[in-house]
Amino acid sequence: MEALTRLDHTLAEYLSHEQSQTIKRAFFYAEQAHFGQTRRSGDPYVTHPLAVANILAEMHMDPQSIMAGLLHDVIEDTGVSKEALAVQFGDTVADLVDGVSKLTQIEFNSLAEKQAENFQKMALAMARDIRVILVKLADRLHNMRTLGVLDPIKSRRIAKETLEIYAPIAMRLGMNTMRMEFEDLGFRALYPMRYRRIAAARTKARGNRKELVENISQQIEATLSREGHEATVIGREKHLFSIYQKMKEKRKSFSEIMDIYAFRIIVDSVDTCYRVLGCIHSMYKPVPGEFTDYIAMPKANGYQSLHTVLRGMHGVPIEIQIRTRDMEDMANNGIAAHWLYKSDDKATNVSQARARKWIQGLLEMQQVAGNSLEFIENVKIDLFPDEIYIFTPKGKILELPRGATPVDFAYAVHTGVGNRCVACRINNRLAPLSEPLQSGQTVEVITAIGAQPNPAWFNYAITAKARTNIRHFLKQQREEDSIALGERLLDRALNAQDTSIEGVKGTLIEAFLQTYNYASIDNLCVDIALGERLPTITAQQILGKSGSEDILGDNTISIRGTEGFMVTPAKCCYPLPGDPIAGYLSSEKGVVVHRETCKNLSDVRDTPERFVALRWDNEVEGDYTAALRVEVENRRGVIAVIATRINSMNINIEKIATGDKDHMFSLVDLELPVNSRVHLAHVMRRLRTVDGVHKVTRVKN
C-alpha cells in the first residue's frame, strides 16, 4: 500500500525504529477493526485513518497523535471500546481517540444542535489534551480532500461547516497551510463555478506577471546580497478563497486584486529582519501607515513577522513580509510546528500557551452559555479576530478584535472587572464605553462596587467573552426578578384564601409541582411573573379549588422600583410615584403599570384574573418618565430657553418634539425623568415662569 510506505518514510525522518513499529502495530489493529468496511468511494475504510496519520506525520507530530489518527474511528464505527484501546496502546491514545469521536449516541432536535454539541465535546477534550484538535483537523482535511464522492447537498453542508468552524480554528492555532487548504477545498465544494473561473483567471494572470515578479525578486536579492544579508525571497501567490473574499468584500475586480505583488523574505535572525526592513525601505518608497510589527507584538495565534507595503516601479504596490525561518515554520504550522523534536523550544511553548489560553476561554464561555447553539455562535464571533493591541495602565498588552470597545477590554482583563465597569479613560482622557479602540491606546477601566452590566452594552460589545457574560448576567438578573415578583403575586392570591406560600409548602405545593411538571417552586414563580400562568388560577389549583370566585380580595402589591425587568411602566399614561395605579399581567413584560384613570386599563378590568391591584411603596427608588406638553409663543429662541431651564434643574430631556398650534402658539412635547409627582410639579412650576410659555400640562394619555 503506497500510503503505508509513504508513512514509513516520513516516520523514519524523525522517529526511532521502536516508535515507528508501535505506530505500524496501531495501523494493523485499525485495519483489522475496520475489516469489511468501505468508504463511499469503494476503497477499504482503513485508507482514511491511514491518510489522517500521513497528514499528522508530515506535521512531525508525536507517536501518540499519529496512533490516535490511525484509530480515531475505531470506537465510533467498530465494536472496540475505549478500555480495550487503553490496554493495547495506553490511556493517552485512548483519551485522544475518545476526544475525537463524534456524539452519535445522543438524539438531537436539529443538525445545527448536533454540530454544536459535537464542538462542545471537542472543546472539553481539547482542554484535557490539545492534540485532540490536531487529530480532528487532520481527519477533517482528508474528508475535505475526498468530498467529491458525496452527493452535492451533503458536500456543501460539510464545506460550509469547515469554512465556519474548522478553517478559523486552524487560523486561530496558527496553522496557515492547513487553513488555506480548508478554505480552497470548501470554496470549490460550495461554489464550483466561481472556483473554476477564478482558478483559470489566476493561471492566466500568472503568465502575465511572471516577468515582473522575477525582476522584483532579483532586485531585492541583489540589494540584500550587496548589504551582506543572506535571505530567501519568495514571490507569494494569493490562494483562491482569499481572492474571492477580497473581490466580494472590497467590491473590486479580479485585475484590481491581482495588481498587488507580494513577497516573503526569510532570514536567519530577528536582528536581520529589522536590518532587511531598512534595506527594503531604501529601495522603494514605503506607503505611510502600512507598516506593522508582529515580531514585537505577535498575533493572538503566535504569528510573527514584519509587514510593510511599498510603491515599486511604475507605482506598482508591493507587499513584503520579513521573518526568520522559525517564524516561517510557525506561520505555516502554528501550534504543530516542532511539536516533537523541539518541545522545549520557547516559540513553540508560547504558541501552545496561547492556544491553551484560548481553549480555557472557550470553557469559560461554555459554562455561562445558555445552550450549545448559543455557545457555538459566540465561538464563531471569537474565531474571526482582526487584532488590535491595547495597553493596560501597567504596560501589559491585550489583543482584541478590530472594532472592540472599552467594554470588551474590561471583560478581557477579568469578568469581574467587566461586570463592575462604569467608565473608562483612553490615553488619560474620559471616554464613553461605546468608543471603538485603536491599536496602541492605553485603556484604564473605572469600576464601582455594586455596579452591574448594562443591557445597552449589547449594542457595542463585540467579543464573545463580553457578550456571553453580559447575556448570562442579565438572564440571571431577569430570573431573580421574575422569582421575586412571581412569589409576591402568588402570595397575594393565596392571602385572599387566608393562607400563604409558607402555608402551602409541603404536600400541597409538592403535589402541584409534580402534576404540572415543575422542577421547583422557583420555576413556577418565573412562569407567573412572565404571565405564562395566572396567580389566581394557580392558587386555586394548589388549594384544590375551582370556579370563578374572586380570590383577589382587596390585597394590593406595592411597587418599589427595584423589580427590574418584571415591572414595566406603561408608555401610554406614564405613571409616577404618587399616582393611583393598577396593572395587568402580560407575557414577557410581567406586570404593566398604568395610572388608574388610564383608558387602556378599562378593558383589562373585565378579566380579573389578569388585573392586578397596585400601590406605590413608601420608599420608591429610581426615575420614571413623565410627559409634558408646553404651549409657547412663536418667538425665536424660546425652546432653547426651556432646554436651559430644564438643564439647570439637573434633568435630561429624553425626547422633544415640536408642532404648530396656530399662527401665534406652538406646542412642545417633552419626556423627562422625574422621581415623583411632587418632583414633576416642581418642574412644571419652574417652566411656567419662562417668558413666552403660555401653558404647561401633563400628558395623561
C-alpha cell at 21: 513499529
DSSP E strands: which ranges in 493-636? 557-559, 567-569, 581-586, 590-595, 611-616, 624-633
Task: Please confirm, yes or no, whether 77 is among the known catalytic residues.
Answer: yes
Report which residue type is found at 97.
V
Do 439 and 420 form a contact (C-beta atoms < 8 A)? no
Pick from 640, 646, 638, 589: nearest CA to 612: 589
* Best CA proximity match to 465, nearest among 370, 381, 365: 365
d(CA 250, CA 246): 6
Q: Which of the following is catalytic: 18, 31, 62, 77?
A: 77
Residues whose CB falls within 8 Å of the CB of residue 115, separated by 6 or more in sequence, listed in order: 161, 165, 376
Q: DSSP character for 661?
A: S
Query: Which run of H or of E encompasses 320?
Result: strand 317-324
* Total Cβ atoms within 10 A of residue 134: 28
Query: Which residue, among 482, 502, 480, has the nearest Cα to 491 in the 3D structure?
Result: 502
How many residues are given for the chain? 701
Q: Are 669 and 656 in contact (CB under 8 A)?
A: yes
Phi and psi at 284, nearest 5°, equal -125, 160
Cell numbers given for 295: 515580531
Residue 656's alpha-carbon distances to 308, 527, 629, in angstroms, are: 51, 38, 10
Task: Give the residue from 102, 118, 100, 111 showing the smallest Cα distance to 52.
Answer: 100
Rounded Cα distance, 9 and 679, in Å: 86
Beta bridge partners of 429: 426
Question: Which residues contact residue 315 at a Cβ distance below 8 angstroms, ignoring those fewer than 6 apart?
Answer: none
**Cα–Cα distance, 30 to 80 (Å, whole number):** 10
**Separation of alpha carbons 365 and 20, rounded Å:** 40
- Please, are residues 162 and 181 in contact by the beta-carbon 8 Å criterion? no
**Closest CA relative to residue 137, chosen from 25, 35, 59:** 59
Q: List the grid coordinates of 294.
A: 508582529
CA-CA distances (angstroms) from residue 368 to 56, 194, 440, 453, 474? 34, 41, 31, 15, 11
Best CA proximity match to 384, nearest among 191, 163, 190? 163
Provide the β-strand partners of residue 585: 591
* CA-to-CA separations, 46 to 1, 625, 642, in angstroms, rounded: 11, 70, 82
| Residue type at 145 in one-letter notation | R
Contact by Cβ (8 Å): 261, 235: yes
Q: CA quadruple 116, 117, 121, 122: dihedral positive or negative?
A: negative
Catalytic residue among 2, 31, 43, 76: 76
Contact 622, 577 (CB under 8 A): no
Q: What φ, ψ does residue 345 adopt, rounded to 5°?
A: -65, 130
Helix, strand or coil for residue 39?
coil
Question: How many whole angstroms separate alpha carbon 532 and alpha carbon 609?
Answer: 12
The amino acid at residue 448 is A
Helix/strand/coil for 666: strand
Catalytic residues, which ones? Answer: 76-77
